[in-house]
Amino acid sequence: MLGYRFMGKAHSNAFARLPMFFPEAPEIERDILVGRDEEALADAADRLGFSRTTTDWQEAIDAVDVFYNVGPNHVHAEPAIAALEAGVPVLCEKPLAATTDDAERMAAAADDADVPTAIAFNYRYVPAIRYAKELIDDGVLGEIHHVRATYLQDWLVDPQAPWSWRNSEELAGSGALGDLGAHSIDLAQFLLGDRIERVSGHLHTFVDERPVPGEGGGGLDAESQESVETREVTVDDAYSAQAVFEGGAMGTFEASRFANGRKNAHTIEVNGSEGSLRFDLERLNELEVLRGDDRGFETVLVTDPDDPYIDHWWPPGHTIGWEHTFVHEDYEFLTAVAEGSEYHPNFQDGLAVQRVLDAISRSDETDRWTEI
Ligand code: SOE
């Protein structure tokens, strides 16, 4: 696995849970952890249960059966392509790449390789989202008219919040758009089973530069003006977009890192001719459903043994959390790897989202509706 911070922890936790809760999952050995800082890497390998470390990703690719790339967006492409050229299956964190060109190259490498790939859209693995997908596929909502998604956070609302790679176009590609919007756009395309064909987008950056820790500096001392330099923010802090789906549905999307008071508030609502549904990540064990009558939405608890993945966990009604989405995701991907079967969401699905992100940015630059 390349990377060991937030997503490294989320996947390592999943690897540890798999043999306990999904005994039928393939056996996993956490072999090599890849990073640049040897000391931090050794410490992470100990905590996350990896046997050894390397600062050379090629060495890792040569040694393993599966490669996880959970590093920053600008390091997704080269190692992922090298792994695929060596016939090693790859899971890559989202968005697929920092640029659409890189995403295209990754998807082409995936096409040429005879192994499964995965793009880590973990919200597809919330049981309530799987249940929502079943309702839509079964026609319970009828013809879909609207999908409406927001993904709101507030960790940059303080102008002194420190600069990180997530604020750099070169390293991240985009800001709230790629980091958060990618999730919403994928969920919308997944739930509707339809692709977006054109968009009108708006991006905004509220704070143009941010403090960075000084050279060799100890922590992120953003408060102390003397000890920090500032660096330019070259990505969006927030975006909004309107979308038209190939099947005719209308989409509206919004994400922000400036939505004061919102920490990780991801919602998606779908309205159809016969009913509607609404999901809120902050209540992830529930789905609000309206079924063809006018008595209003009912709140369905998606915690029964026959609900997706629930029988692997606790008795009925015992809730699960955000981290479980990674267990489900890694279970499905690693099973596909072991069986050599097709897996979704794969690099092609990641590219489909990347093209929408790209069209939203182009629409913002040109002030025009833009085709995907
Ligand atoms: C950003 O703050 C972030 O960590 C995203 O990168 C993740 O994809 C999202 O799930 C939570 O928020």
Any atom of ligand 1 within 6 Å of the Cβ of 179: yes
CA of 280 to the centre of ligand 1 (A): 15
The position carrying tokens 């507030």 is 154
Residue span(s) of the chain under CATH 3.30.360.10 come to 123-371
Compute the distance between CA of residue 141 and CA of residue 138 in angstroms, rounded to an integer. 8
Among the listed residues 327, 276, 270, 349, the one whose alpha carbon sits nearest the alpha carbon of residue 125 = 327
**Tell me: domain 6-121, CATH 3.40.50.170, correct?**
no
Compute the distance between CA of residue 180 and CA of residue 95 in angstroms, rounded to an integer. 9
CA of 180 to the centre of ligand 1 (A): 6
Q: Ligand 1, closest atom to CA 94?
A: 8
The per-type count for the chain, helices as H runs and strands as E runs, is: 11, 16
Any atom of ligand 1 within 6 Å of the Cβ of 167: no
Tell me the one-letter amino acid at 277.
L
Residue span(s) of the chain under CATH 3.40.50.720 come to 6-121
CA of 39 to the centre of ligand 1 (A): 26
Say how many C-beta atoms besides its own lie within 10 A of residue 208's C-beta.
11
Say how many C-beta atoms besides its own lie within 10 A of residue 192's C-beta.
21
Mutate to test the pocket of ligand 1, among 94, 156, 174, 179 (most ligand atoms within 8 A of CB): 179
Among the listed residues 6, 110, 11, the one whose alpha carbon sits nearest the alpha carbon of residue 352 = 110
The encoded tokens of residue 280 equal 């809120």
CA of 37 to the centre of ligand 1 (A): 23
* C-beta separation of 173 from 182 below 8 A: no
User: What pTM was estimated for this model as a whole?
Assistant: 0.95
Q: What angle do CA 269, 257, 255 make, to 5 degrees?
A: 25
312: DSSP letter: G
Domain 123-371 has what CATH class?
alpha beta
Q: Ligand 1, closest atom to CA 182?
A: 8
Q: What is the pLDDT along the chain (372 residues), one digit of tens a residue?
A: 999 999 999 999 999 999 999 999 999 999 999 999 999 999 999 999 999 999 999 999 999 999 999 999 999 999 999 999 999 999 999 999 999 999 999 999 999 999 999 999 999 999 999 999 999 999 999 999 999 999 999 999 999 999 999 999 999 999 999 999 999 999 999 999 999 999 999 999 999 999 997 654 444 444 544 546 999 999 999 999 999 999 999 999 999 999 999 999 999 999 999 999 999 999 999 999 999 877 899 999 999 999 999 999 999 999 999 999 999 999 999 999 999 999 999 999 999 999 999 999 999 999 999 999
Side-chain-side CA neighbours of 274 within 13 Å: the count stands at 10
26: DSSP letter: P
Peptide bond into 162 cis (omega under 30): no
CA of 179 to the centre of ligand 1 (A): 6
